[in-house]
């Protein structure tokens, strides 16, 4: 045998030397859940270790994460039903908890990169991402709502906007609006290939944002489709996206790889709530080593071609790395 690949695995030093993929806290964005009130946290039942925070406690959490080296966050609001309506009015209320949180995070931690979410679902009494009429989810009519939301977030100091409703023409519309209003520096991370997935369940628990009727299959992609992701990516790229995101991550590594091969802007992957919950549930039962499974999954997502990973494991990873 002339070729013995095992020689390159014979010691930790050699294994580290030939390691092809690395994972750093710089690659990660930590999603955070915000709720109204004071001095409270509440654990998401289906996401052990992940909490909803009131604004005061959220600022403490951001400080703790920053101390661990985490530099990027994505914020989502959990709102009581009374704040929701058909037009997601609360989404652009400057006195609302979400926009105040964006403003305060950026005031207290000017160096963090703060991403905000541009979609109607946490604010909608229908629990859908768009305006609803006669059971239909409207595409173009929803744009002005998203525009008001996006501008309010940009004014509050958001660094990256994440239009997450997976409908048509979002990136171009928002880019134009941001530029017209003097926010040329605000980035857009396109939810480019977002699939109609069962893995969003725990997130909808966290935000109490499940659709009140039907499902999201007329706007989110069919899990069977890969080539369609290229169509979505071409549009978002042409419309000015700064990042192309694939979501969820683990069942769609081929899609991450495909976009990485075809586009030269950074590819992001959202390692979603259900992917987190699966590992946590198995680890709690002692069925697998949660820490090792976390590292292997994050590495796999990077290896597939994602430079950026949105993950609920960000803090745990940062703690693990800190411990050496
Ligand atoms: C919808 C949105 C979803 C997530 C983020 N924004 C899912 C959905 O309800 O369609 C899911 C994230 C996760 O599961 O971690 N705008």
pLDDT in tens, 207-232: 999 999 999 999 999 999 999 999 99
Whether the Cβ atoms of residue 193 and residue 220 lie closer than 8 Å to each other: no
Q: In total, how many domains does the chain have?
A: 1
Mean pLDDT of the chain: 97
Q: Evaluate if residue 242 carries a pLDDT over 90.
A: yes
Ligand 1: which of 142, 164, 271 to mutate, judged by most atoms within 8 Å of the beta carbon?
Answer: 164
- The pLDDT, as a whole number, for residue 324 is 77
pLDDT band at 259 (very low <50, low <70, confident <90, very high): very high
| Average pLDDT over every residue of 92-110 | 97
Per-residue pLDDT at 307 exceeds 90: yes
Cβ neighbors of 24 (< 8 A, separation 6 or more) are none
- How large is the average pLDDT for residues 63-86? 98
Residue 159 beta carbon below 6 angstroms from any ligand 1 atom: no
The answer, yes or no, to whether residue 249 has pLDDT greater than 90, is yes
CB within 8 Å of 69: residues ≥ 6 apart: 25, 318, 321, 322
β-pair type (132-133, 136-137): antiparallel
Ligand 1 atom index nearest CA of 209? 9
Among 138, 135, 140, 97, CA closest to 211: 135
CA 300 to ligand 1 centroid distance, Å? 21
Q: Is the pLDDT of residue 276 over 90?
A: yes
Distance CA 237, CA 214 (A): 30
Q: Which atom of ligand 1 is nearest to the CA of 220?
A: 10
How far apart CA 78 and CA 97 sit, in angstroms, is 10
Q: pLDDT band at residue 308, thresholds of 50, 70 and 90?
A: very high
Query: What distance in Å separates the CA atoms of residue 259 and residue 172, rounded to the nearest whole number?
Result: 19
Mean pLDDT score, 3-9: 98
Nearest Cα neighbor of 47 from 207, 230, 266, 270 is 207
Q: Using a 6 Å cutoff on CB, does residue 203 contact ligand 1?
A: yes
Looking at the CA of residue 31, tell me the nearest atom of ligand 1.
Answer: 15
CB of 129 sitting under 6 A from ligand 1: yes
Question: In Å, how far from its chain's centre is CA 172?
Answer: 20
Ligand 1 in reach of 75 Cβ (< 6 A): no
Query: Which amino acids are annotated catalytic?
Result: 194, 247
115 three-class SS: strand
In a domain, 204, yes or no: yes
pLDDT of residue 316 exceeding 90: yes
- C-alpha–C-alpha distance, residues 287 and 235, integer Å: 43
CATH number of the domain bearing residue 146: 3.20.20.70
**% of the chain beyond a pLDDT of 70:** 100
Beta bridge partners of 75: 32, 116
Confidence of residue 186 (pLDDT cuts 50, 70, 90): very high
- Residue owning the nearest CA to atom 11 of ligand 1: 200
169 found inside a domain = yes
**Cβ-based neighbour number of residue 307 at 10 Å:** 14
Q: How far apart are CA 93 and CA 152, in angstroms?
A: 8
Q: Which pLDDT score is estimated for 153? A: 98
Residue 128 lies in a domain: yes
Exposed/middle/buried for residue 193 (C-beta within 10 Å: 0-12, 13-18, 19+): buried
| Cβ proximity of 196 and 220 under 8 Å | yes
| Cβ–ligand 1 contact at 83 (below 6 Å) | no
- Which residues form the domain of 279? 22-322
Binning pLDDT at 50, 70 and 90, where does residue 127 land? very high
Task: For residue 225, tell me if it sits in a domain.
Answer: yes
Which residues, other chains included, contact 306 with Cβ-Cβ below 8 Å and sequence gap of 6+?
Answer: 246, 249, 256, 260, 267, 268, 269
Exposure of 7 in the CB half-sphere (CA atoms within 13 A)? 5
Task: Please provide the DSSP assignment of 194-210 as one string.
Answer: EB--GGGHHHHHHHT--
Most ligand 1 atoms within 8 A of CB, residue of 200, 270, 310 to mutate: 200
How much is the average pLDDT of 246-266?
Answer: 98
Residue 81 included in any domain: yes
Could you tell me which residues are beta bridge partners of residue 113? Answer: 72
For residue 218, tell me if it sits in a domain: yes
Residue 162 lies in a domain: yes
Strand partners, 191: 245
Examine the pLDDT at 157 and tell me if it is beyond 80.
Answer: yes
Whether the per-residue pLDDT at 323 is higher than 80: the answer is: yes
Give me ligand 1 centre to Cα 286, in Å.
28
Is 93 among the domain residues?
yes
């Amino acid at each position: 045998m002339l070729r013995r690949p095992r020689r390159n695995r014979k010691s930790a030093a050699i294994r580290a030397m030939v390691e092809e993929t690395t994972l750093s806290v710089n690659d990660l964005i930590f999603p955070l859940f915000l709720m109204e009130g004071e001095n409270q946290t509440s654990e998401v039942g289906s996401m052990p270790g992940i909490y909803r925070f009131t604004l005061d406690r959220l600022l403490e959490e951001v400080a703790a994460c920053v101390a661990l080296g985490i530099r990027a966050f994505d914020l989502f609001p959990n709102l009581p039903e009374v704040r929701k309506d058909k037009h997601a009015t609360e989404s652009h209320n400057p006195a609302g908890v979400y926009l105040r949180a964006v403003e305060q995070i950026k005031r207290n931690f000017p160096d963090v990169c703060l991403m905000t979410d541009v979609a109607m679902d946490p604010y909608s009494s229908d629990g859908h991402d768009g305006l609803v009429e006669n059971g239909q989810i409207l595409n173009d009519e929803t744009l002005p709502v998203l525009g008001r939301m996006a501008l309010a977030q940009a004014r509050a100091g958001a660094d990256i906007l994440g239009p997450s409703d997976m409908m048509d023409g979002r990136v171009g519309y928002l880019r134009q609006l941001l530029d017209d209003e003097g926010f040329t520096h605000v980035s857009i991370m396109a939810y480019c290939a977002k699939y109609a997935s069962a893995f969003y369940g725990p997130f909808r628990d966290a935000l109490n944002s499940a659709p009140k009727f039907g499902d999201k299959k007329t706007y989110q992609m069919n899990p069977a489709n890969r080539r369609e992701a290229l169509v979505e990516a071409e549009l978002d790229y042409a419309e000015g996206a700064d990042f192309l995101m694939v979501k969820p991550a683990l069942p769609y590594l081929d899609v991450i790889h495909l976009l990485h091969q075809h586009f030269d802007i950074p590819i992001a992957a959202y390692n979603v709530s259900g992917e987190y919950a699966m590992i946590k549930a198995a680890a709690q039962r002692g069925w697998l080593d949660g820490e090792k499974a976390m590292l292997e999954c994050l590495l796999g997502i990077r290896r597939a071609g994602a430079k950026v990973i949105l993950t609920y494991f960000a803090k745990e990873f940062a703690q693990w790395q800190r411990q050496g």
